[in-house]
Amino acid sequence: MASAPTPKYNSHSLENESIKRTPRDGINWDLGEAVPRLPGEMRITDKEVIYICPFNGPIKGRVYITNYRLYLRSLETVCKHCRGSDESRCVLCGSGDSALILDVPLGVISRIEKMGGATSRGENSYGLDITCKDMRNLRFALKQEGHSRRDMFEILTRHAFPLAHNLPLFAFLNEEKFNVDGWMVYNPVEEYRRQGLPNHHWRITFINKCYELCDTYPALLVVPYRASDDDLRRVATFRSRNRIPVLSWIHPENKTVIVRCSQPLVGMSGKRNKDDEKYLDVIRETNKQISKLTIYDARPNVNAVANKLVLTGAIQVADKVSSGKSSVLVHCSDGWDRTAQLTSLAMLMLDSFYRSIEGFEILVQKEWISFGHKFASRIGHGDKNHADADRSPIFLQFIDCVWQMSKQFPTAFEFNEQFLITILDHLYSCRFGTFLFNCESARERQKVTEKTVSLWSLINSNKEKFKNPFYTKEINRVLYPVASMRHLELWVNYYIRWNPRIKQQQPNPVEQRYMELLALRDEYIKRLEELQITNSAKISDPPTSPASPSQIMPHVQTHF
Amino acid sequence: QTDDKINSEPKIKKLEPVLLPGEIVVNEVNFVRKCIATDTSQYDLWGKLICSNFKISFITDDPMPLQKFHYKNLLLGEHDVPLTCIEQIVTVNDHKRKQKVLGPNQKLKFNPTELIIYCKDFRVVRFRFDESGPESAKKVCLAIAHYSQPTDLQLLFAFEYVGKKYHNSVSSINGMSSGAGGAAGGGAASGSSQKTPLFESYSDWDREIKRTGASSWRVCSVNEGYMIATCLPEYFVVPSSLADQDLKIFSHSFVGRRMPLWCWSHSNGSALVRMALIKDVLQQRKIDQRICNAITKSHPQRSDVHKSDLDKTLPNIQDVQAAFVKLKHLCVNEPFEETEEKWLSSLESTRWLEYIRTFLKHSAELVYILERKHLSVILQEEEGRDLSCVVASLIQVMLDPHFRTITGFQSLIQKEWVMTGYQFLDRCNHLKRSEKESPLFLLFLDATWQLLEQYPAAFEFSETYLAVLHDSTRISLFGTFLFNSPHQRVKQSTEFAISKNIQLGDEKGLKFPSVWDWSLQFTAKDRTLFHNPLYIGKSTPCVQNGSVKSFKRTKKSYSSTLRGMPPSLKNGVISDPEFLPRRNSLILKLKPEPPEQAESQNSGVEQYFRDWFSTPVDLHGVILPRLSGIHIKLWKLCYFRWVPEAQISSGGAITAFHKASVLVDEVDVLSRMLRQHRGGPLPACFSETDQSRMYFQASGPHAASGTPDFLSSTFPFSPVGSLCRRSISGTPFSKFLSGARIWLSTETLANED
């Protein structure tokens, strides 16, 4: 069997946490109960329920609720062959019965509803219906006698929506320790230095150090050298929420740039602003050879048709910049939703650094987190108002596009699908501080970096798990995905991962086979080395082989 | 259109076509411009267009732009199209705004300024005659129309070619030069020394009986000299209990006298049999009974026979053809951007994927009957030579790992398609009599691709191999895909030989080159691209618990990993393959079968599938297709390779394939070095030569330096030579043809000349 005892790749990060007991993952297990517990996680209650599994039918189980998660372990066993709970023993396999487990961070819950009433008839008609942000829908039936669901409903509501009850988000209670500090991953000065900034035309300004120029922008901005701080302040008055055009990325050779901002405040009168126009001219003139600036207005309808349009837009931006035809200014309304999608995707196409694990973390940290994508509003962390019109899966759409790119370029990204799924899982889980709050100034006020753990700590301390074995590091290759419906796919392993019948092969057989081959190569190299040592100990056998191991090994080892 | 003259003056140079033996130039025209797939015409090529009795050829000195690799078919230049690959010929005069689809022996009342060739492989090639002599342009167009739509089978080029070979061999030595005999193996290509059995002889069938361990089956030679049926092979396999005399009598009652043919036997003794309908109503029950009894007798457990009426369960050949035509329109014809919006629903409405799924599903259900229920299966179809070919082949690919090797797959095609009378001539429509056309063979290759996509380590061959194999059906040089039956080959080629004064001696008909002699089409280097680097062959080494073993598996090794901790169901998802018992394990087999009870057959199948999918795959055992909507995909390499807009440059699955190939090559090199150190024997998968099995090599020019520039999702094909549909001189192509749908039906345009 090919897959026999080779390394195991788990499909879902949340799942892994429930089975791995290594302290490195920061998971403790309650002895006796076999319920996973993070440092800082507290057990609140448990209750016997019937879980109405959409795939296996009703299953009796015990639900444990902590201040971080809802955890269900079935009391009945599920026959994995029949995928039903009726038979306690499977004729085919005899044993093999197993418990069904649900592990749901409370942060993913978007809505909790009571179903049925005290007088409802029918089996399993009384209970709770929980809608999750990660596409799960969980239904628990409880006993009708004595309002048995009331306290479960209240406890869940309280801890799933802590902000409505004056409770802290779990990230502030989490006491996990990792051997890597994810908060150190992004240092804006270093990142801009990597891009070759500041240079003759662009400077780093601290004008927004105390978030006075723009409260939703980062403290550190890159602006044209020739624009004075006063110029910036004047331009700010003309831009929605003071989000002035600032540099996101500069091309290392042709020096064209990607600049982002919010929409101009053109009132009813259609007034124009001289300062703003002058400022754009200054940006344009930062590049004497090309001296062109394309304005990409991402406002109309981009929302409508999903990832195809987002990708198409990003390709256009990347193409303008990479071909050296023109610098590009991207804006939408406020410059924190579609703008972030377009600039970050274009940067991913243009700059291979962002396709590494740390590079991608920096990209997210920079274009999304520091530039004020309103994660708190778009995701609704800890907030009970599930119908809030501010909620929107903008970031999910971005990650979907990244996944599409990784499908089209299987060797171009250091990270694998699991990396992206893990990011999305913790976008909702509230276990880490990374995606909390709407902007940098709010995060600073809440001392997020001091009081919470970064998601990148978890990922970077266990990087192997998130690596794409096919990754080939390349410098300066611009990637243009094909934004055609012929190539865009449904991300089955994310959107349909809870359905055991639809699930793709895990691990991916191509990846798995490749890992086996890598192991085989390493084994052969080891043996050759051993043989060489033995051989050289003997009287020298004149080298008859065309290449000795020592000749080939350096080459062979350069791959990874 | 005058602003098109961007290129310098057309060159005057002697451009000579490369011709095969027996190939003659019929007509030619100079100063032709071939349009290239870019937005502008600046990359267009100037050259000479010739029409021969084998191909249309565009000969140019200009290098192909924007293409950085060569994957060349040795029979064809990069701009050539074999005549049998031509689907439709459209001539245009854009000054008079006229166009005409050219049939054979038709007149053309205008001088064409442009010629557009629609190819069966979805290519669209476009030539312009702005600078050429109007009369010679017209003549070439008419010649192409005439020679690509021959009235008689013997006018296909293969006859001329093979006839010439015979003549040459008489004048030189006794015997054939290259390509002689079909028995040329995948040998050089597959790295194994095995040759592809053609099943033309008694012994090939006999060996197959022995290989599958089918006792109580015998090779029958009643049809020697095609005495009984002209659409059956001379030798085939029948139940031992049926005497030749009985068969002769029964044969009269079957449609086309196609009596039951054995295909394959499972190690449990269940047999797969195909047969035509019994047309004789009076005899029907009796004969049916006799046949079934005989098959039962040949089963070691005397199990019953399961009959599957394919005509009732599967789409018919017209349905498949209709789906394919729709798919072709969607992939090639429509303006790219217009099809984008409703791509998924358009694709669904072609029903192509649905049909692929239906065939796979039905085949998998029959796998269940053979494998789990231990029943022999009869595939029944009116003539038994269309749907049966697909289903019989798919069942065997799923059940028998031998057919997932290159040699095995080729022998399967010989066994279930070529020798059993799949009507390649009619279904491929080599003579353009369109009513019998149906792409069942492509459907089979596509379904195989689905399995390859789902089980990438289970197949010795790559998707390039499948695509190239499909292309080979469009080259009228090989005997393999030219005829409706083996008898037709013998009969037609004997006639031809007599008319050409070729001495056949005791040979049965002319020996056409076999498509399995891949050296006729590709260099040894290019053939290595057929190899799937991820394949785990029987003796492929692997690492187990830190020690290298070979994948030779005995029944014993199954049981060692049987019991472990019960897996848990995590997050409602049942998946923990490591702890599950291996499929086909001894213990599973020793357990009593689940009681059949009143359980309907359907739930039995579903149960079987569920069981199968809940245990890890044994790549050397059965593989079953995943059948849900998301698992049946469009075979992009095959259908998109000529569409420039769909090409992902420096991307696509090939980039991972490249990495894997390089790694496999490294492992091979290391293994060879280890062997030299030890002086031990060679693992079977390495040929004695030092030539690499892999197209991409660790020590090659692209070693370790990342993904080569020339890779793209269409590799090794390039859409550059295909027509750009984006725009032509700024006019969207569809509008250019006055809004007419391309692939114009002949009727639509009949009165436009």
Per CB-CB distance under 8 Å, the chain A contacts of B631 are 504
Q: Which of A155-164, B107-116, B701-710 has the weakest average pLDDT?
A: B701-710
At A520, list the tokens.
């085989």
CB-CB under 8 Å, A498 with B573? yes
B34 to chain A, minimum CA–CA distance in Å? 26
Question: Can you give B620-663 as a three-state secondary structure string?
Answer: CCCCCCCCCHHHCCCCHHHHHCCCHHHCCECCCHHHHHHHHHHH
The count of other CB atoms within 10 Å of the CB of residue B495 is: 14
Burial A494-520 (b: 16+ CB within 10 A, else e): bebbbebebbbbbbbbbbbbbbbbbbb
More confident site: A352 or A475 = A352
Per CB-CB distance under 8 Å, the chain A contacts of B343 are 484-486
CB-CB under 8 Å, A474 with B568? no
**Residue B566: per-residue pLDDT:** 33
Backbone CA torsion sign across A552, A554, A555, A560 = positive
Amino acid (one-letter) located at B573 = V
Name, of B135-144, B190-199, B539-548, the range with top average pLDDT: B135-144
Q: Which of A72-81, B672-681, B714-723 has the weakest average pLDDT?
A: A72-81
**Residue B718: per-residue pLDDT:** 83
Window 466-485 of A, Cβ < 8 Å to B: 470, 472-474, 477, 479-482, 484-485
At A313, list the tokens.
């837009």
Q: Of A480, A455, A469, A478, whose CA–CA distance to A510 is shortest?
A: A469
DSSP string, B447-506: HHHHHHHH-TTS-SB-HHHHHHHHHHTT-TT-STTT-SSHHHHHHHHHHHHHHTT---TT
Q: Tell me if residue A42 falls in helix, strand or coil.
A: coil
How much is the average pLDDT of A529-537? 81
Check residue A373 and report its DSSP letter: -
**Residue A298: per-residue pLDDT:** 86
Task: Confirm if A312 and A278 have CB atoms less than 8 A apart.
Answer: no
Given the structure tokens 């509803």, which residue do they identify? A113
Q: Could you tell me if A135 lies within 8 Å of chain B, comparing CB atoms?
A: no
Q: Of B178, B52, B156, whose CA–CA distance to B484 is shortest?
A: B156
Chain A with chain B: Cβ pairs closer than 8 A: 255
Query: Who among A83, A477, A510 is closest to B456 (CB)?
Result: A510
What's the gap between Cα B347 and its chain centre?
Answer: 22
- The answer to whether residue B554 scores a pLDDT higher than 90 is no
Beta strands A127-132 and A293-297 are unpaired
What is the distance between the alpha carbons of residues B503 and B167, in angstroms, rounded to a whole number?
9
- The answer to whether residue A11 scores a pLDDT higher than 70 is no
Q: Which of B174-188, B270-284, B298-312, B376-390 has the weakest average pLDDT?
A: B174-188
- The answer to whether residue B313 scores a pLDDT higher than 90 is yes
Q: Could you tell me if A551 lies within 8 Å of chain B, comparing CB atoms?
A: no
Name, of A499-513, B189-203, B354-368, B534-548, the range with top average pLDDT: B354-368
**Residue A95: per-residue pLDDT:** 37
A452 Cβ neighbours under 8 A, 6+ residues apart: A171, A172, A174, A432, A433, A436
B252 to chain A, minimum CA–CA distance in Å? 47
What is the distance between the alpha carbons of residues B381 and B366, in angstroms, rounded to a whole number?
15
What is the distance between the alpha carbons of residues A168 and A381, in angstroms, rounded to a whole number?
11
How much is the average pLDDT of A124-151? 89
At B151, list the tokens.
């009235």
More confident site: A204 or A301 = A204
What's the gap between Cα A265 and its chain centre?
Answer: 33
Is the peptide bond between A198 and the residue preceding it cis, with omega within 30 degrees of 0? Answer: yes
**Residue A273: per-residue pLDDT:** 84
What is the distance between the alpha carbons of residues B190 and B188, in angstroms, rounded to a whole number?
6
- In tens, the pLDDT along B565-593 reads 333 334 443 333 333 333 333 333 333 33
How much is the average pLDDT of B103-125? 90
Query: What class, spelled out in words, does domain B25-149 have in CATH?
Result: mainly beta
CB-CB under 8 Å, A545 with B676? yes
Per-residue confidence band for B555, with pLDDT thresholds at 50, 70 and 90: very low
- In tens, the pLDDT along A368-421 reads 999 999 999 999 999 999 999 999 999 999 999 999 999 999 999 999 999 999
User: Which one of B39, B550, B670, B707 would you mutate to disrupt binding with A, by most A Cβ within 10 Å of its Cβ?
Assistant: B670
A358 Cβ neighbours under 8 A, 6+ residues apart: A185, A460
DSSP lists the bridge partners of residue B570 as A101, B573
CB-CB under 8 Å, A513 with B536? yes
Assembly ipTM: 0.87
B699 to chain A, minimum CA–CA distance in Å? 9
B645 to chain A, minimum CA–CA distance in Å? 8
- In tens, the pLDDT along A432-456 reads 999 999 999 999 999 999 999 999 9
Query: Who among A92, A102, A510 is closest to B571 (CB)?
Result: A102
* Residue ranges per structural domain of chain B: 25-149, 202-529
How much is the average pLDDT of A127-139? 94
Backbone CA torsion sign across B635, B637, B641, B644 = positive
Question: Can you give A106-128 as a three-state secondary structure string?
Answer: HHHEEEEEEECCCCCCCCCCCEE
**Residue B229: per-residue pLDDT:** 93
Beta strands B55-60 and B81-82 are antiparallel
- In tens, the pLDDT along A490-516 reads 999 999 888 877 766 677 899 999 999
How much is the average pLDDT of B625-638? 93
Residues shown for chain B:
753
Query: Who among A96, A473, A498 is closest to B572 (CB)?
Result: A498
**Residue B531: per-residue pLDDT:** 96
- The answer to whether residue A25 scores a pLDDT higher than 50 is no
- In tens, the pLDDT along B399-417 reads 999 999 999 999 999 999 9
Backbone CA torsion sign across B649, B651, B656, B657 = negative
- In tens, the pLDDT along B34-43 reads 987 656 667 7
Query: Who among B341, B344, B543 is closest to A516 (CB)?
Result: B543
User: For A42, left (φ over 0), alpha (ψ -120 to 50), or beta?
Assistant: beta
Query: Who among A490, A500, A510 is closest to B573 (CB)?
Result: A500
CB-CB under 8 Å, B648 with A487? yes
Per CB-CB distance under 8 Å, the chain B contacts of A518 are 663
Per CB-CB distance under 8 Å, the chain A contacts of B569 are 74, 78, 80, 98-101
pLDDT, chain B, mean:
82
Q: Of A247, A320, A308, whose CA–CA distance to A486 is shortest?
A: A308
Q: Which of A203-212, A540-549, B281-290, B357-366 has the weakest average pLDDT?
A: A540-549
- In tens, the pLDDT along B43-67 reads 788 999 999 999 999 998 877 665 6
How much is the average pLDDT of B280-294? 92
Amino acid (one-letter) located at B197 = P
Amino acid (one-letter) located at B589 = K
Element holding A29 (H helix, E strand)? strand A28-30
Per-residue confidence band for B282, with pLDDT thresholds at 50, 70 and 90: confident
At A246, list the tokens.
């600032």
- The answer to whether residue A84 scores a pLDDT higher than 80 is no
- The answer to whether residue A282 scores a pLDDT higher than 60 is yes
How far is CA B678 from each of CA A520, B311, B665, B674, B681, rounded to the nearest angstrom? 18, 60, 20, 6, 9
What is the distance between the alpha carbons of residues B682 and B373, in angstroms, rounded to a whole number?
41
- The answer to whether residue A271 scores a pLDDT higher than 60 is yes
Q: Could you tell me if A398 lies within 8 Å of chain B, comparing CB atoms?
A: no
CB-CB under 8 Å, B563 with A95? yes
**Residue A426: per-residue pLDDT:** 98
Q: Which residues of A are catalytic?
A: 332
